[in-house]
Amino acid sequence: GVAMIIAVDGPTASGKGTIARGLAARYGVPHLDTGLLYRAVGFACAARGLDPDDPAQAVQACDFADSLLADPELRSEASGGLASRVSIHPGVRRALFDRQRAFAGQPGGAVLDGRDIGTVIAPEADVKLFVIASVDARAARRHREMLGQGRQAALADIAADLAARDARDTGRKDAPLVAAADAVVLDTSALGPDEAIAAAVAIVEAKR
Ligand code: C5P
């Protein structure tokens, strides 16, 4: 492995998760999907009858989130929507900060993907990728993924949901979704998974 911190940020279904996993495998470093932490907090609200839009109740849910991290329900659209709602509360972001920092600080290096890795969690990262794709490309991916899981959904509804989530993530005051000044923007609209990973590897190699 290489002792590098690689930050991979971007919106939902941009391909950042695929790229982060690909880079972690390529360089032999551990990977943290930070969205899962927020999803676990959102899901904990639902499981415990706590209001995700109430800052104090959302912070309370952080105490129960750990036990839910392996739950397959975290991958659902519902959990993603709840995650986006709890993630606007500064108290929730604070509660999740230390473990993300600790992960980034591992001596062998790390890959983290999320929304604020290059800006807030690991501003010292050696490589920062900001992964984007058109709403149409992202909606088509999500649609294909859902059909593959045997779930029905209208493409237009998926696109509307993605746009709403983008607006919430980009518009929030605390740690909004924004490219770090020193991030390299990678547009995956026209790329398949392997091509996106190859493009990311090329960016990392250029920085080493
Ligand atoms: O990446 P994923 O879709 O799993 O993230 C779910 C939600 O969690 C995002 O829409 C975002 O609101 C929030 N999130 C965040 N900061 C991160 C990762 C995720 O606010 N680092």
Atom of ligand 1 nearest to the CA of 36: 4
Using CA of residue 77, residue 79, residue 82, residue 84, what is the dihedral sign?
Answer: negative
Distance 145 CA to ligand 1 centre (A): 19
The residue whose CA has the least distance to atom 3 of ligand 1 is: 12
Distance CA 191, CA 55 (A): 39
What CATH number is associated with residue 151?
3.40.50.300
Determine contact, residues 126/29, Cβ cutoff 8 Å: no
Domain end point (choices 88, 105, 122): 105
Q: How many CA atoms lie within 13 A of 130 on its CB side?
A: 13
Any atom of ligand 1 within 6 Å of the Cβ of 35: yes
Any atom of ligand 1 within 6 Å of the Cβ of 12: yes
What's the structural domain count of the chain?
Answer: 2
Domain end point (choices 105, 131, 164): 105
Helices (H), the chain: 16-27, 35-48, 55-65, 77-86, 90-104, 135-148, 155-171, 193-207
- Using one digit for the tens of pLDDT, what is the confidence trace for 22-37? 999 999 999 999 999 9
**Containing domain of residue 9, as a range?**
1-30+110-208
- Using one digit for the tens of pLDDT, what is the confidence trace for 184-207? 999 999 999 999 999 999 999 999
The pTM of the full predicted model, rounded to 2 decimals, is: 0.95
ipTM summary value: 0.98
Any atom of ligand 1 within 6 Å of the Cβ of 38: yes
